[in-house]
């Protein structure tokens, strides 16, 4: 009885060590996956920042002024008021 108890305790400890080693190796693999995901997130973040800067430059007034100069738009027009007799007449 004493011998079987020792064998049972030793086998239980061996199983615990094997499970602990499996969890440790699995944790290392998950850590590597997290690192690769973080690298992907950083590259996506930089690409997103570049695209945002491009959108901001296309949406800026400076860009609109340069395009207006290329298309030869004039400076400003006089407003047209509709309360005169020439417009909306019955």
List the domain range (segments joined by +) for residue 35: 2-70
Is 84 within the bounds of a domain? Answer: no
**Total of domains in the chain:** 1
Q: Output the pLDDT for position 83.
A: 65
Q: Output the pLDDT for position 75.
A: 63
Q: Output the pLDDT for position 85.
A: 59
Sequence-ordered list of residues with C-beta below 8 angstroms from that of 60, at least 6 positions apart, any chain: none
Q: Output the pLDDT for position 7.
A: 93
Is 75 within the bounds of a domain? Answer: no
* Helix orientation angle between 61-70 and 2-59, rounded to the nearest 10 degrees: 40
pTM above 0.75, yes or no: no
Is 77 within the bounds of a domain? Answer: no
The pLDDT averaged over each successive group of 10 residues in the chain (90 residues) is 88 97 97 96 96 84 79 70 59
Is 23 within the bounds of a domain? Answer: yes
Q: Which two tokens stand for residue 73?
A: 């738009």
Is 86 within the bounds of a domain? Answer: no
Residue with tokens 């570049």: 50
Q: Which two tokens stand for residue 6?
A: 């020792």
Q: Output the pLDDT for position 81.
A: 67
């Amino acid at each position: 009885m004493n011998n079987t108890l020792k064998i049972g305790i030793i086998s239980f400890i061996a199983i615990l060590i094997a499970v602990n080693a499996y969890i440790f190796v699995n944790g290392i693999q998950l850590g590597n996956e997290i690192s690769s995901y973080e690298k992907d997130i950083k590259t996506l973040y930089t690409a997103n920042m570049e695209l945002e800067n491009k959108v901001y430059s296309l949406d800026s007034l400076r860009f609109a002024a340069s395009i207006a100069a290329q298309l030869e738009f004039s400076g400003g027009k006089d407003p047209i008021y509709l309360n005169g007799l020439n417009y909306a007449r019955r």
